[in-house]
A and B are shown apart, each in its own frame.
Chain A
């Protein structure tokens, strides 16, 4: 196989993020400053921000979410980097994953040596119905949205077909959500820093305190089956199957490979990068996998010269719980139809054979859509450098992967990171 190659290597030498959540009164530029400062603090040997030569900023829709277009130059201004070239990348929820790739391409081309890539989104200013409408513009407004589809609806439709084809049940997806909340409870940057068990116990305590009828859920699964506690959004996707509406920002400092050790004794080398596009969901032969993710994965594995089995920790795009199951199959961690079994048996848990979404994933960490792709890279940065604290994957992993999806998989981008 003749894989694509970069003209020169690229390394991550700094990674940071704001907390993800709802932050009334803070705009994307405020959140990006937080991410930038967090990134600066992570650069082991320090650096002069004036050495940054260009910015690539992933941002889905500040235009509709906060009434602000042309966001990249504002990020440059607020971080003291104007007049350097600042370019916005928009590929829906894959915007910042693609921003990473654009930063890589810019360095590999030889044009720049030091590039800042970022991701931003500010979603919580709008009421839920308008957020739903804004996210919908990432799908086909001419032929999909008139059918009544919403984003939870698209993934729910993939889920019904997946269940029909492979025998998964709604409980399979509930277990993915439980796992990601368990991971997110150990992440101080997560929007929901709590387990499903704690959410459930909190509701029971509240009912007791107020003298309301006390729910009698036996366990988390019974709680998750309760239509009132966990309402259906688009069947079989319920509230706790859906990533939240979030604000947040994230940033990486990328440098050419030969400069990496000037910044850090333990840089991460980006050994694989892949990206692909796809047609609308209804035009695909198969809706239980994302072809663009499969192709992006193949390209990244080929460039890196590694196999799916070599990956020790991965952050995948779990905008909905079904999406995580499909992602683990598209990336060939598991065969088609076997991803849900791995999810059910704990294989994708933090201490399982293939730890997936140790950060809590988009489900628990939060999904400020344009920032999510770089948020994933921040987790891999921490895991491969042994800095993930309580949620550290054991065994000192050296190879990690990020998988970032735009829309229903019309954009997918995969990166592979190595600590040498």
Chain B
């Protein structure tokens, strides 16, 4: 992998190593998740990879019953809903991810602010195998 392209491909290659990585702008000292090749704040492109904290809290969520094709293929759907959410990491950065360890059939019991920790979920086989970022309720 080109370790300086700050692409989605590179991000996923880190996920496959069970690492949650963001990009740091060396010019204005700003962190980004998802990683980016150019800093939207100062327009500089002196970026570096930084390992991000794996703990955070749930700031928005839903339980999804009508699933997209990719999640149906992963075994989810009307009879097996799942949770998607937005997680704010300890350092303030936020990211979308599947949320594990909570009951998708009892959404009324899921709390905004639930502490979560990163988990790396592998789907697909052989060349189609890909690692996805998820968070599990602690």
Contacts and interface: CB of A to CB of B under 8 A. Distances in A.
Task: Please say whether chains A and B are actual partners in one complex.
Answer: yes
Interface string B1-26: 00000001000000000000000000
Contact of B107 (A142, A164, A231, A236): A236
A311 B65 CA distance: 38
Given A148-B82, A283-B94, A158 B66 contact: no
B60 A161 contact: yes
Point out which of A146, A148, A233, A283 has the most chain B C-beta atoms below 10 A from its C-beta.
A148
Contact of B63 (A140, A161, A232, A281): A232
Contacts of A282: 86, 94-96
Given A132-B68, A148-B67, A287 B132 contact: no
Contacts of B85: 147, 157
A65 interface: no
User: Which of A157, A161, A233, A281: most chain B CB closer than 10 A?
Assistant: A157
Interface residues of B, number: 33
A164 B132 CA distance: 28
B66 A128 contact: yes
Contact of B66 (A132, A144, A161, A283): A132
A148 B98 contact: yes
A160 B62 contact: yes
B28 interface: no
**B62, B69, B98, B107 — which one has the most chain A CB atoms within 10 A of its CB?**
B62
Given A129-B68, A145-B68, A148-B82, A157 B98 contact: no
Interface string A213-247: 00000000000000000011111110000000000
Contacts of A152: 62, 64, 66
A324 to B, nearest CB: 18
A140 to B, nearest CB: 8
Nearest to B8: A142
A225 to B, nearest CB: 12
A287 B60 contact: yes
A141 to B, nearest CB: 9
B96 A281 contact: yes
Interface of A: 128-130, 132-133, 136, 140, 142-150, 152-153, 156-161, 164, 231-237, 280-283, 287
18 contacts: A142-B34, A143-B8, A146-B96, A147-B96, A147-B132, A148-B68, A148-B70, A148-B76, A157-B61, A157-B86, A160-B107, A164-B112, A233-B66, A234-B64, A234-B65, A235-B62, A235-B63, A282-B94
Nearest to A135: B68
Interface in B23-53: 34
A140 B64 CA distance: 18
Contacts of B34: 142-143
B112 A150 contact: no
Contacts of B78: 231
Contacts of A232: 63, 65, 81
A144 B96 contact: yes
A152 B67 CA distance: 10
Contact of A147 (B66, B98, B110): B98
Given A142-B34, A144-B96, A160-B61, A149 B84 contact: yes
Interface in B85-137: 85-86, 94-98, 107, 110, 112, 132-133
Contacts of A280: 96
B129 to A, nearest CB: 14
B96 A234 contact: no
A147 B84 contact: yes
A156 B60 CA distance: 9
Nearest to A165: B112
